[in-house]
Amino acid sequence: MIFRQLFEPVSCTYSYLIASRRGGEAMILDPVLEKVDRYLQLMRELDLRLVKAVDTHLHADHITGLGALRDRTHCITVMGEQSGVDVVSMRVADGDRLQIEGVSMDVIYTPGHTDDSYSFHMQDRVFTGDTLMIRGTGRTDFQNGDPRAQYESLFGRLLRLPDETLVYPAHDYKGDTVSTIGEEKAFNPRLQVKSADEYAALMNSLNLPNPKMMDVAVPANMRQGLHQAEVARRGWAFSARNAQELVGRPDVALIDLRETCERERHGVIPGSLHAPYPDLQASIGGGLLHELAGTGKRLLFYCAFGERSAMAVQAAQDAGITTARHIEGGMAAWKKAGGTTR
Ligand SMILES: [Fe+2]
């Protein structure tokens, strides 16, 4: 396995680059905008292809690298289903698996620091975001934070992992890099409480100043989506309502870009073909999509929210498939417009 812990010193953020092999797919957790060049250089050096960029939660102390990484690598951007962030092209929920080639993580919903906080558990280690930190826990006094929810996330979920599980947080302000569940149970001062009430009283007495970057970072992190507006401006988008008239027409090939787990959970538009987004370039270059376009079919892409499909339209147009379009807003908009699914 390739595993790199990367540090951004202004916000003391740790980002994690993970891949199963050189030359394979990679994912990055909690990337920071200012470090995007560094991540891309490292991935070039290790011959990795970024397919997923994940934020554990909406950050208040730095601007996320998700939007820049999406623009420069066309990767899938991932957050939890509670997230209102517009850049997100795939949303995960508790119990899901977050996968790339050779790597699979269990998705654990761990609210409390924010209401969109997630942890990711993989083999011998867990990425805890700002839920569990080394000898600390993430503050719960803004961004819909809730100390009682965090108590449950800690004691009901994370601390039930085996004691030897390695703990990799999203931040450390003292220079520690890794801990274990057993070590945190024994020595983390925030965890030496007997009840949720006691934990809430402790967290509510902290009186911390707001992060310096908060007024900049939160609005910036909420709005990173650009592709859909640009694709619509070029006339390459159909509203979900208009798309309903195209479905079933013999000259239209409806293409679902989502992953199998998303299709199973949210259903599919009847009659659509499946071409997962990570394999898009190969499919356009000489696979299914290339063949469909060659037979004169008009390609109509869709995904969960329209982010991946907007990038797919751009990629297809770049490859000379001028009839490529997408459904703006994706499956979410389709369902809202009363479109049928199965
Ligand atoms: Fe945070």
Residues 180-223 pLDDT 10s: 999 999 999 999 999 999 999 999 999 988 888 888 899 888 88
Pairing state of beta strands 49-54 and 25-29? parallel
From the CA of 45, how far away is ligand 1's center (Å)?
30
CA neighbours closer than 13 Å in the CB half-sphere of residue 310: 26
Q: How confident is the model at residue 86 (pLDDT cuts 50, 70, 90)?
A: confident
From the CA of 211, how far away is ligand 1's center (Å)?
10
Are residues 273 and 302 in contact, defined by beta-carbon separation less than 8 angstroms? no
From the CA of 318, how far away is ligand 1's center (Å)?
38
From the CA of 57, how far away is ligand 1's center (Å)?
7
For 56-74, what is the mean pLDDT?
A: 95
Instruction: Report how far residue 51's alpha carbon sits from residue 63's, in angstroms, rounded to the nearest whole number.
Output: 20
pLDDT score at 210 = 87
pLDDT score at 84 = 84
From the CA of 280, how far away is ligand 1's center (Å)?
33
pLDDT 10s digits, 309-331: 999 999 999 999 999 999 999 99
From the CA of 129, how far away is ligand 1's center (Å)?
7
pLDDT score at 18 = 98
Of 105, 117, 98, residue with least CA distance to 52? 98
Cα dihedral 274, 278, 283, 286, rounded to 10, equals -160
Place of tokens 């995007």: 36
Residue 300 confidence (pLDDT) above 80:
yes
Of 219, 66, 102, 206, residue with least CA distance to 145? 206
Residues 207, 213, 214, 215, CA torsion sign = positive
Give 166-196 as a DSSP string.
EEEESB-SSS---EEHHHHHHH-GGG--SSH
From the CA of 194, how far away is ligand 1's center (Å)?
25
Instruction: Report how far residue 49's alpha carbon sits from residue 13's, in angstroms, rounded to the nearest whole number.
Output: 23
Of 100, 124, 73, 86, residue with least CA distance to 18? 100
From the CA of 197, how far away is ligand 1's center (Å)?
22
Q: What does the buried/exposed string (b/e) look like for 229-261 if buried means 16 or more CB atoms within 10 Å of the residue's CB?
A: eebbeeebbbebeebbeebeeeebbbbbbbbeb
Give 61-128 as a DSSP string.
SS-BSHHHHHHHH-PEEEEETT---TT-SEEE-TT-EEEETTEEEEEEE--SSSTT-EEEEETTEEEE
From the CA of 62, how far away is ligand 1's center (Å)?
9
Q: What is the mean pLDDT of the chain?
A: 95
From the CA of 44, how far away is ligand 1's center (Å)?
29
From the CA of 89, how far away is ligand 1's center (Å)?
21
155 Cβ neighbours under 8 A, 6+ residues apart: 191
From the CA of 325, how far away is ligand 1's center (Å)?
37
Q: Of all residues in the chain, what percent carry a pLDDT higher than 90?
A: 90
pTM: 0.93
Residue 247 confidence (pLDDT) above 80:
yes
Instruction: Report how far residue 138's alpha carbon sits from residue 145's, in angstroms, rounded to the nearest whole number.
Output: 9
Give Cα 142 distance to the centre of its chain: 22
pLDDT score at 226 = 72
Instruction: Report how far residue 217's alpha carbon sits from residue 30's, in angstroms, rounded to the nearest whole number.
Output: 14
From the CA of 92, how far away is ligand 1's center (Å)?
18
Neighbours of 286 (CB within 10 A): 10
178 Cβ neighbours under 8 A, 6+ residues apart: 5, 134, 166, 167, 168
From the CA of 154, how far away is ligand 1's center (Å)?
16
Phi, psi of 131 (to 5 degrees): -80, -60
pLDDT 10s digits, 90-149: 999 999 999 999 999 999 999 999 999 999 999 999 999 999 999 999 999 988 999 999
For 267-280, what is the mean pLDDT?
A: 95
pLDDT 10s digits, 8-29: 999 999 999 999 999 999 999 9
Under DSSP, is residue 341 helix (H, G, I), strand (E, B) or coil? coil
From the CA of 185, how far away is ligand 1's center (Å)?
21
Neighbours of 97 (CB within 10 A): 13
Of 128, 199, 195, residue with least CA distance to 158? 128
For 162-184, what is the mean pLDDT?
A: 97
